[in-house]
């Protein structure tokens, strides 16, 4: 009965897309779904509306309210326009920036969004072609805009696209603006409510001038210009994985002083089909395979990669045996934090009011580095908008050193408010040059950090649950873990348990319940055990996954002990997985 009721609701919703407010191609596709005896695809396309998660609006491209198309993008833009006109009613001219990545339909969605904003009397700065997400964030602040959007699905597979909305500080929206925008979007019940006929006089094309200003400001981040000068010709292989980094990242590396940037020609091809990879995700070894092959061919010293919208950075380095190994997001974040704090101290930039930021699922070793060096640490929710939120709260009061998350995102500068692979690639190259100046490589530098601050190994496990049934399974899994808190993980007693949905923590040692100091609630569970293990559980905000983050720690006295520590940590993580039933 319940399924029949859902089907009738879906059919009624789908039929509303057969009016003259929708184009003929869309109507034909919807009618084909209605005519299909198997209602599975119809239900998937219409059973819900796309919603803003930690990464904004994101979904598979196609017809329907649960798909990325001109009407769902249009509704988002009309709703955002309506909210901007409420919030900034006192301004003579509201202004927004629009950017997009390499994905199929991204330019189309960007141009339609420009038309809708302008039809609502809003001034639009539209990038002439694909640009990195962080540059769009930069442009919001640089051009004094009230909002901005970028059409991208980040590192998702090729069938996806997405829509990220930003506020006047250059960051993705947080409460109340995200919820208020969603409320306005939800009021758009039909395509007839969307103003598609743009005002070209309000649309200004931007590009090269912003590029130059952005790169110039990024070069001011460099902390080791003389060292780069000594090692300017170190061989760096870079791949944009078919995305927006193709132009700006090599140009920024050159502006920093690096003169030997080696491309991967097959992946310099801009394409939303991502022809050389299954998934354009720098977290996946396969996505860096061509770059590593090129590095072996030319005997390079560093491999750098960015995802399609150039906000995430991937890297590969040589180990002591000369073999290429991929760094994960926790390891690159460790090196960024270690290098930035070390150089800031050496250059006399530490005045006592500096801070760094990490997300609650990112390695605790960053906390150790910060504490030992007298730098304040903020722990925030997953999603870079929360790092940006701390930056906004501290603006003009404290000095931002850097912030990052385990999912391959880091931000070295305060004039951008989202993770930035453009600056991250340049800074990783600088760290490599700094290490080389000391006679070591990045792999040995990481080992040295482990010896000084403690060894940690992190493992992210994603359990994919697709579609409506998958979403229901994820809800059930979170409910099970919440109602049955773990008392022991991999043989070690849980000492502290946090439920960020209730903002309550429980200390098993003292028997005390504490209130968690966070700006809002979040569907995350977290456990700390007596042996230093940390386990976090959360549903993804952008993909059909439930995510488990495992982190184990041990003390090592020398580099010689690292192999044994790594092996023991790997075994421990397998025990953790067994404890979690995954």
Residues with active-site annotation: 154
Give the separation between CA 308 and CA 254, rounded to whole angstroms. Answer: 21
Give the separation between CA 183 and CA 180, rounded to whole angstroms. Answer: 5
In the β-sheet with 399-405, what is the strand arrangement from edge to edge? 376-380, 354-359, 399-405, 409-411
Report the candidate in 67, 56, 76 with the shortest Cα–Cα distance to residue 181.
Answer: 76
Secondary structure (3-state) at 148 = strand
Instruction: Give the tokens for residue 422.
Output: 């453009």
Give the separation between CA 87 and CA 301, rounded to whole angstroms. Answer: 50
Cis before 176? omega within 30: yes
Report the candidate in 16, 11, 13, 67 with the shortest Cα–Cα distance to residue 39.
Answer: 11
Strands 512-515 and 525-529: unpaired
In the β-sheet with 123-127, what is the strand arrangement from edge to edge? 57-60, 160-166, 147-151, 95-100, 123-127, 203-206
Cβ atoms of 396 and 380 closer than 8 Å: no
Indicate left, alpha or beta for 390 from its phi (over 0: left) and psi (-120 to 50: alpha).
alpha
Residues 6+ apart with CB under 8 A from 64: 14, 17, 30, 33, 44, 45, 46
Give the separation between CA 63 and CA 33, rounded to whole angstroms. Answer: 10
Secondary structure (3-state) at 493 = strand
Tokens 């496990």 belong to which residue? 461
Residue 139 half-sphere exposure, CB side, CA atoms within 13 Å?
A: 27
Residues 6+ apart with CB under 8 A from 93: 123
Report the candidate in 526, 517, 567 with the shortest Cα–Cα distance to residue 548.
Answer: 526
Give the separation between CA 111 and CA 126, rounded to whole angstroms. Answer: 8
Instruction: Tell me the CA distances in angstroms from 39 to 13, 46, 522, one per residue in order.
Output: 13, 11, 34
Instruction: Tell me the CA distances in angstroms from 131 to 81, 134, 204, 539, one per residue in order.
Output: 23, 9, 16, 29
DSSP 546: E
State which H helix or E strand residue 554 sits in: strand 545-554
Note the helical H segments in 198-352.
Answer: 208-219, 225-230, 245-256, 265-268, 289-298, 329-346
Report the candidate in 221, 284, 283 with the shortest Cα–Cα distance to residue 252.
Answer: 221
């Amino acid at each position: 009965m319940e399924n029949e009721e859902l089907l009738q609701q879906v059919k009624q919703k789908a039929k509303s897309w057969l009016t003259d407010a929708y184009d003929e191609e869309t109507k034909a596709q919807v009618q084909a779904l209605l005519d299909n005896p198997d209602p599975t695809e119809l239900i998937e396309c219409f059973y819900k509306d796309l919603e803003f998660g930690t990464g904004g609006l994101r979904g598979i491209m196609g017809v329907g309210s649960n798909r990325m198309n001109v009407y769902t993008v249009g509704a988002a833009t009309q709703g955002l326009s309506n909210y901007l006109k409420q919030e900034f009613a006192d301004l003579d001219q509201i202004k927004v920036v629009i950017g997009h990545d390499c994905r199929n339909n991204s330019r189309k969605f960007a141009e339609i969004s420009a038309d809708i904003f302008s039809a609502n009397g809003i001034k639009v700065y539209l990038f002439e072609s694909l640009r990195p997400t962080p540059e769009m964030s930069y442009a919001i602040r640089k051009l004094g805009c009230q909002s901005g959007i970028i059409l991208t699905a980040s590192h998702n597979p090729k069938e996806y696209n997405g829509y990220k909305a930003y506020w006047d500080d250059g960051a993705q929206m947080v409460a109340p603006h995200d919820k208020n925008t969603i409320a306005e979007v939800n009021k758009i019940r039909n395509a007839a409510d969307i103003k598609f006929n743009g005002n070209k006089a309000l649309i200004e094309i931007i590009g090269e001038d912003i590029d130059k200003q952005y790169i110039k400001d990024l070069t001011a981040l460099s902390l080791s210009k003389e060292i780069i000068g000594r090692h300017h010709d170190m061989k760096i292989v870079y791949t944009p994985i078919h995305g927006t980094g193709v132009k700006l990242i090599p140009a920024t590396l050159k502006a920093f002083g690096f003169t030997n940037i080696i491309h991967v020609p097959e992946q310099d091809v801009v394409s939303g089909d991502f022809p050389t990879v299954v998934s354009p995700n720098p977290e996946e070894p396969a996505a860096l395979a061509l770059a590593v092959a090129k590095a072996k061919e030319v005997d390079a010293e560093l491999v750098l990669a960015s995802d399609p919208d150039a906000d995430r950075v991937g890297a590969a380095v040589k180990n002591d045996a000369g073999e290429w190994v991929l760094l994960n997001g926790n390891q690159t974040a460790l090196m960024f934090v270690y290098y930035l704090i070390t150089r800031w101290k050496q250059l006399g930039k530490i005045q006592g009011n500096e801070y760094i930021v990490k997300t609650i699922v990112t390695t605790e070793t960053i906390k150790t580095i910060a504490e030992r060096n007298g730098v304040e640490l903020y722990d925030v929710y997953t999603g870079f908008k929360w790092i940006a939120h701390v930056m906004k709260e501290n603006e003009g009061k404290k000095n931002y050193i850097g912030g990052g998350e385990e999912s391959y995102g880091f931000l070295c500068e305060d004039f951008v408010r989202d993770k930035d692979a453009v600056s991250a690639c340049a800074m990783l190259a600088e760290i490599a040059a700094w290490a080389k100046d000391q006679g070591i490589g990045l792999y040995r530098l990481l080992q040295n950090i482990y010896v000084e601050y403690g060894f940690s190994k992190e493992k992210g496990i994603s359990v994919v649950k697709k579609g409506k049934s998958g979403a229901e399974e994820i809800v059930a899994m979170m409910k099970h873990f919440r109602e049955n808190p773990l008392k022991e993980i991999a043989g070690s007693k849980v000492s502290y348990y946090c439920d960020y949905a209730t903002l309550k923590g429980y200390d098993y040692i003292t028997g005390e319940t504490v209130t968690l100091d966070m700006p809002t609630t979040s569907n995350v569970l977290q456990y700390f055990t007596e042996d230093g293990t940390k386990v976090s559980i959360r549903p993804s905000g952008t993909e059909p996954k439930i995510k488990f983050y495992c982190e184990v720690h041990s003390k090592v006295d020398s580099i010689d002990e690292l192999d044994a520590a790594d092996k023991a940590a790997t075994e421990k993580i397998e025990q953790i997985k067994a404890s979690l039933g995954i």
